[in-house]
Structure 1
Amino acid sequence: MPTRTIPRRALVLTVALAVLPTVALAAPAQAASASPAAASPTASAANAAPVRFFDLPDTPLPSDRAPHRITFSYRNDAPTDRTIAPQILVESPQRGPFLDPSDIRLEQLGSDGRWHTVPLASQTGTLYTGLIPAKIVLHSHHTLTERYRITVLHAPAQGTVEPRIAIYA
């Protein structure tokens, strides 16, 4: 009987999309007592799932313990503004060993010129950055350039760094 392998990237997205409605509907205790008329349509739009992803070139995970820069750009060629979110995936080798968030430090260059640590979550051997905190509106015909720095803290580590852009409706 043939077997089918589901890529971890697809599995992470499927699990994230399955959990998203539960997370979006779970409100803080004080908000739960608010009347339905007070609910904002923009609140549900803020938690909407992406409609697709734009994959950027992959690179091997550096094997030393030195910080390595990752820079990528995405241009909105659409005639309208788009809500997008940059995301970094770090894929473990298919057969393991699987990476843990404590194995890697990921930092993003902020508008203040300083490096800020970006938290990583883990699912089925894939480390990933959150989408909702990264959401921005990219104006028509503008380009987003993101600068990250990745450091492997526990060598030896193997994997692939896969930046992508989540695109929302």
Structure 2
Amino acid sequence: MSSINHRLRGATLALTAALVGVGMAGAAPALASTATVASTSTPALVPADFVDAPVRALPAAGQSHTFTVTYRNNSSTDQVVAPQILVESPDTGPYLAPADILVERRNAAGQREIVPVASQTGTLFTDLVAAQQTLRPGETLTERYRVTVITRGAAGTVQPRVALYG
């Protein structure tokens, strides 16, 4: 396993543990000041698996990368899913900070909304809990994102993925 994959898996486990703890406690996480996690009275679901989209290099400062995250529920039952964007820092650093990038999602009206980004173990990520949605059998999740690099010299990779629950 490459060190990037190892660090990414470690960040995923730490993030999942943190979000589950937050859901059970009903309080906001102390992961980063830009993180927004929905507070609920029921425990947060834990992802059972992830479907990864192709990894791409982070664009240069002032440039944007647009992409679509798509997942189809081919099962015969409802399925809870959550799209997530991971931005991985280089192995040798410097690690990226949430202020280094801007992540936006196109809403149903076609307007771009800023998606808050948090950071852990050199990985920037969007919140899984806030992105959870239920797909009925045969329904398709389609989310359009744009990642823009703000900080000159920021380097890394962009990994869109879908968390699968249950």
TM-score range, shorter chain: 0.7 to 0.9
Q: TM-score, normalised by structure 1?
A: 0.82
Q: TM-score, normalised by structure 2?
A: 0.84
> Which secondary structure does the structure 1 equivalent of 2:154 belong to?
coil
What code does the residue aligned with 2:42 have?
S
CA distance in 2, matches of 1:122, 1:51: 22
Match of 2:115 among 115, 118, 123: 118
CA distance in 1, matches of 2:72, 2:127: 21
> Which secondary structure does the structure 2 equivalent of 1:44 belong to?
coil
Unpaired stretches in structure 2, ≥5 consecutive residues: 28-39
Unpaired stretches in structure 1, ≥5 consecutive residues: 29-41
Match of 2:42 among 32, 41, 44: 44
Cα deviations by residue, 1:62-89 (Å, 9 ceiling, x for unpaired)? 1141233121211111122210000000
1:67 aligns with 2:64: yes
Measured at CA, do residues 166 and 102 of structure 1 come closer, stay the same or move farther in structure 2, by a change above 3 Å? Answer: same
Deviation at 1:27, TM superposition (A): 3.6
Cα deviations by residue, 1:22-78 (Å, 9 ceiling, x for unpaired)? 3122247xxxxxxxxxxxxx9535x12111111111111111412331212111111
Q: Which has the larger radius of gyration?
A: 1
Measured at CA, do residues 21 and 109 of structure 1 come closer, stay the same or move farther in structure 2, by a change above 3 Å? Answer: closer
Deviation at 1:20, TM superposition (A): 3.3
Deviation at 1:17, TM superposition (A): 2.9
CA distance in 2, matches of 1:21, 1:165: 17
1:136 aligns with 2:133: yes
1:8 aligns with 2:19: no
Measured at CA, do residues 109 and 93 of structure 1 come closer, stay the same or move farther in structure 2, by a change above 3 Å? Answer: same
CA distance in 1, matches of 2:19, 2:65: 32
- Percent identity (aligned): 43
1:88 aligns with 2:82: no
